[in-house]
Amino acid sequence: MEKVYLAVVLAPLIASIIAGLFGRQIGRSGAHWVTIIGVAIALVASVYAFYMHVFGGLGTFDGTVYTWIASDLFEFNIGFLVDNLTVMMMVVVTAVSLMVHIYTIGYMHDDPGYQRFFSYISLFTFSMLMLVMSNNLLQLFFGWEAVGLVSYLLIGFWYKRESAIFANLKAFIVNRVGDFGFLLGIAAILMYTDSLHYATVFERLPELADITVEYWPGVEWSLISVIAILLFIGAMGKSAQVPLHVWLPDSMEGPTPISALIHAATMVTAGIFMVARFSPLFELSDAALSLILVIGAVTAIFMGLLGIVQHDIKRVIAYSTLSQLGFMTAALGVSAYSPALFHLMTHAFFKALLFLAAGSVIIALHHEQDMRKMGGLAKTLPITFATFFIGALALIGFPGTSGFYSKESIIYAVAASELPGAEFAYWALFIGVFVTAFYTFRMLFLVFFGESRMDKHTASHAKESPKVVTVPLVLLAVPSLIVGFLVIEPLLFGAYFDDSIRVLATHGAMATLEEQFKGAWGMFLYGWTTPVVWMALAGVATAAIMYLGMPKVLPPLFARVFAWPKRILEEGYGFDSFNNTVIAGGSRLLGRGLWKGADLGAIDGWLVNGSAKVVGSMARTWRLIQTGYLYHYAFVMILGLIGLLTWIVFVGA
C-alpha cells in the first residue's frame, strides 16, 4: 500500500511541475490535462485506500518513507499515517480538487496565466495531502506552510491588481502570526517528548499531565494547556478564527476556483483537522477546550452577521465559510470531534458547490459580482440556479440535506456539554442558524429572483455556462444532498474514528448525543419539530418578506432604522481598521523609530560613522608629530630608551 500512498501525493506534485516548468511547451490543453490526470490518479488511489482501510480490514499504516535528518539527539522522518480519518480527508480533498480542476477549464479559458494557475492548484492539492497524511509534526508543518505559500500565490494570482497584492500579503502575514504560536507548540512538544512522531508523542502525554511551567513568578500553568493553546493559535490562523480571521474575506481577490478550493477542501480545514488529530492532547486540557469552544462560537455568530451586509456574492459565501468554521471549532471545543469532521466533509461539498455556482453566475454576467446588479437569473441559468439552490439548502441545514445532519449534530453536542462556555456557545450557534438562513436566501433571492437589475447589454448576453462548468456543479450537488444521510451513523456513532480520535469519559457530549440518536431517517423526521430547523425556516421567511415581498420598502427601511449597527457590520467590527492603524501603523512607527534611532543614529551615527570620525580625529592629531626629520625620531627613541631603563631600575627592582 505504500506505493498507493506515494501515488496520492506524487501525482499532483509531478503534474504541477510539468504544467509549471513546461507550460509553454505543452500548451493550455496540455496543462489542464496533465494536472487533471494527476489529481484523478490521486482520487482513484485515495478511494482505493479508503476501501481497503474501511471495508478491506487494512489496519492503520504508520510508516517512514525516508529519513530526512538524523543526529545523536533527534531523527526527523518523512512518513505517512493512514487511518480512517486520513482516508476520509484524502477522498474529500482529491474529489473537490478534481471538480475545481475541471471547472477551471471553463472559468479561466481566456486568462493569460492559464498554465500557471493549473500548476498552482495542483501544487495546492499536493500540499494539503502531505499535511493530512503526515505521521509527524515536521511533515505536518511542511504541509501547513506549503498551503500557506500556495494560497499566497493564488490569492495574488492577478498580480497586476493592487487589491490582490494587498490581499495575499494580508493572508500571508496574518497566518505568520498564527504559525508562530504553532511553531512554539511544536518546539515545546519536541522539548518535553524528544520526538515529533505522533504515536511517540501520544504515548508520552501522560508523563506531561502533571508538569507545570511558571512564566510569571507565582503563576503556574499546566504544560499540556500551554502546548494545546499554542497549537490552537496556529489553527486560528489557518482556519480563520477571531481575531485571526481578517485574511479570509480578502482571499476573494483570487479567481473563483481557488476561492472554492481554499474555502472548501484545503487550507481553512487544516486547523480543524489538526485539532482532531491531536485529540489525545487536547482532551487533557479543559482550559484549552473551553477557549476553543468560546472562540468558535464567537466566530460562528459574529462572522455570520457580517454576511448580511455584503453585496459581493463571493464575499457573502466567504463570511459563510468563516461562520461554518466557527461551528466546527465549537464542536471541537466540546470534544465532538466526529461531528466537526462530519461537518468539515459535508461543508466541503456544498461550499465548493456554492462558490463554483457563484462563479458560473459571474461568468454569465461578464465578471460582475455585485448582487445589486443581478436579479431574475433563475430562468436564464437553470442548472446554475438548481445547484445553487441545493447548496443553499445544505448550508442552512434544511432537513434531509447533508448540512442538516452535520450542523444539527454540532448544535446538540454543544447543548449536551458541561464545559465552561457551553451555554453561551449553544445560544450563539442557535442564533447563528437564523443568521445563516437569512443571508443565504437573501443572496439567492437577490441573484435569481425578482426584477432584473442588469444593464441591457449584460442581460441580452447572459446565458447558461458551458458543460465544463455545469457538470462539476451537478456532481457536487449530489453529495451535498445525500452524503449526510448515508454516513452519519458510522461516522458519529459507529467505530469509524475509534483508532483516530480519543475522547475522555468525562467529556460526555457525544455519549448524550448517541442516546438521543434514532437513525438517519428518524433524525430527518424529528428534525421538522426541532427549534433549530424552525430558526432556519424563520430566517428564510424573513429574507423572503424583505427581498421578495417588499424589496423596495423593507431593505431601505431597515438600513435607516439600524444605520449604526449596519455601519459597524460594514466596517467588520473595526478589525481591519485596528490592524491597519494600530498593528500595521504601530509596526511602521516602530520600524521608522528603529531606522532613525538604531540604524541611522546608533549604528551609522555612533558605530560606523562615529568610529570613522574618531579614527580621523586621532589621525589628524597624530600626524602633527610626524615631521619627517630623522633626528626627531632618534630623539624620541632615546627618550623612550631612557624611560624604559628608569622603569627597570626603580620599578622593576
Q: According to the model, what pLDDT value does residue 653 have?
A: 53
Q: According to the model, what pLDDT value does residue 620 have?
A: 78
427-473 pLDDT, tens digit each: 999 999 999 999 999 999 999 998 888 888 888 788 888 898 999 99
**Looking at the predicted structure, is the pLDDT value of residue 183 above 70?**
yes
When computed from its CA atoms, the radius of gyration of the chain, rounded to whole angstroms, is 30
CA pair distance 9, 82, nearest whole angstrom: 13
CA pair distance 194, 205, nearest whole angstrom: 12
CA pair distance 147, 179, nearest whole angstrom: 12
27-39 pLDDT, tens digit each: 999 999 999 999 9
Q: According to the model, what pLDDT value does residue 584 have?
A: 63
Please indicate whether residue 384 or residue 601 has the higher confidence score (pLDDT). Answer: 384
What sign results for the dihedral spanned by CA atoms 552, 558, 561, 562?
A: negative
CB-based contact 430:440 (threshold 8 Å)? no
**Looking at the predicted structure, is the pLDDT value of residue 354 above 90?**
yes
**Looking at the predicted structure, is the pLDDT value of residue 595 above 80?**
no
Please indicate whether residue 223 or residue 70 has the higher confidence score (pLDDT). Answer: 223
CB-based contact 468:105 (threshold 8 Å)? yes
- Mean residue pLDDT of the chain comes to 89
282-324 pLDDT, tens digit each: 999 999 999 999 999 999 999 999 999 999 999 999 999 999 9
Please state the rounded mean pLDDT for residues 119-129.
94
Closest by CA position to 249, among listed 194, 199, 307? 307
16-28 pLDDT, tens digit each: 999 999 989 999 9
Please state the rounded mean pLDDT for residues 131-157.
92
Amino acid letter for position 64: T
Distance of CA 86 to the CA centre of its chain: 18
Secondary structure letter of residue 464 according to DSSP: P
Secondary structure letter of residue 465 according to DSSP: P
528-581 pLDDT, tens digit each: 999 999 999 999 999 999 999 888 888 888 888 888 888 888 888 888 777 777
SS (H, E, C) 79-128: EEEECHHHHHHHHHHHHHHHHHHHHHHHHCCCCCCHHHHHHHHHHHHHHH
Cell of 80: 505517512
**Looking at the predicted structure, is the pLDDT value of residue 176 above 70?**
yes
612-623 pLDDT, tens digit each: 778 888 877 777
Q: In sequence order, what DSSP letters do the residues of 219-282 get, joined into one string?
A: EEEEHHHHHHHHHHHHHHHHTT-TTTTTHHHHGGGS-HHHHHHHHHTSGGGHHHHHHHHTHHHH
Q: According to the model, what pLDDT value does residue 290 have?
A: 95
Count of other CB atoms within 10 angstroms of residue 561: 10
Residue 82: what are its φ and ψ, rounded to 5°? -120, 110
